[in-house]
Chain A
Amino acid sequence: MLSVETFPTLQEAAGAVGPRAKFLGGGTLVMRAVSYGDQSFEKIVRAKTVDRAIGSHAAGLRVGAGATMADVLAARDLEFLHPVARAIGGPAIRNMATVGGNLFAPNPYGDFAAALLALDASVEMADGRTMPLADLLATRDHVTGLVAGVVFQRPESSAFRFRKISRVKPKGVPVISIAVHLKRGDPRVVFGNMAPVPARSVGAERALANGSDGAAIDAACAACLEGLAPEDDALATEWYRREVAPIHLRRLLEDGGQI
């Protein structure tokens, strides 16, 4: 039998989550699981106060884990992330789905997590710990505690690009998604749905380390699958994903961000 436990603060709620207790953010993941009779948990944990603040931080920008995709779209400071937030669901979903929840969204979801990984985001936990988002993603199935917020630096103008590839227009879950942050000397290329969690393409990053001219783009596309392990699902086979990933990476690098 399912139970719901409500705490005044996120910090208090963090002590109650565990293998059989899931935290309720916007509800788009947990309530869906409830509707489908998921028996892997027996308790829903929620906090009455959620951190939806978006603003400046010593390290750049901070977004509270409880900020929704609609909050992101309303934040001028996050204009570079608007194409990502806008690509997630319809308006009702965007009014509910949170940034913190997206970090735990299983494939084929998790576009925002891919974008944050490309921005080298760090995660603030409710107990005060901080960790790189990459570390959280690597351990997210058994991470302890709750995410309080994410912190990242604002990218230079036009250096950040995002592309979501879906078969249903204008809205559909992604076959793959790609987020690129073209930092000179240290670029980031992140694929969603090309591994169990959003993952960096080390081959593409190596190829783009010295610029993104035509030869570098050719090399990045040729090497972009290095280290990635796409899987079959109802949307596409792993073979299809391997075939189309370099094509869409090229379009993103040559044409800029488009959905």
Chain B
Amino acid sequence: MAKTPVTFTLNDAETALFVDPGANLNEVLRRGAGDLTTKHGCGQGTCGACTVLIDGVPHLSCLTLAETVERRRIDTAGGLAGGPNLHALQTAFMEGFAAQCGFCTAGMLMAAKGLLDANPNPTRDEVAEAISGNLCRCTGYEPIIDAILTAAARMQGRAV
């Protein structure tokens, strides 16, 4: 079966790939584009580990048909840092021990980025809601919520 050409913007980089029929975006990002920051967890939309932003909005890459992202923008955890400078979310996660095994972290970061891009000053409940589709079996969620609130405060120049 013929592959389908797909072009999209991946973390500011124009990307062109040939994808297999029925391939999901997660496979294409990891195997095709070589972006291993996006994790493959449950493959059924339950764990959120594969969360990416498509045109700025959180989506589950494992449930996204790759060819539907033609000419769209994909943001992954791999694009958060600016060179050696970590994103405020990454710094807050690191300092607040919001990552333990780390498998959920990429999805958590992107769910959090999607929230803060749309709502720079979220409440604790809004943060909890924003990550409610992302499972973490290590932290108990509280350090993650704290880290997102810390990052939000720093990004707004507020005292933590």
Contacts and interface: CB of A to CB of B under 8 A. Distances in A.
Interface residues of B, number: 30
Interface stretch (A1-9, A144-152, A238-246): A1-9
Contacts of B134: 90
Contacts, number: 87
Contacts of B129: 91, 170
A28 interface: yes
Contact of A31 (B51, B57, B65, B132): B65
Interface residues of A, number: 26
Interface in B22-59: 22, 24, 43-45, 48, 51, 57-59
B73 to A, nearest CB: 14
Contact of B51 (A3, A27, A46, A92): A92
Interface of B: 1, 4, 21-22, 24, 43-45, 48, 51, 57-60, 62-65, 67-68, 111, 114-115, 128-134
The 8 closest A-B pairs by CB, nearest first: A90-B133, A2-B22, A35-B43, A92-B58, A31-B63, A90-B132, A27-B63, A32-B44
23 contacts: A1-B21, A2-B1, A3-B22, A4-B4, A4-B65, A4-B67, A24-B68, A31-B24, A32-B45, A35-B63, A36-B43, A44-B21, A89-B133, A90-B48, A90-B133, A91-B111, A91-B129, A91-B130, A92-B48, A92-B59, A92-B133, A95-B57, A170-B129
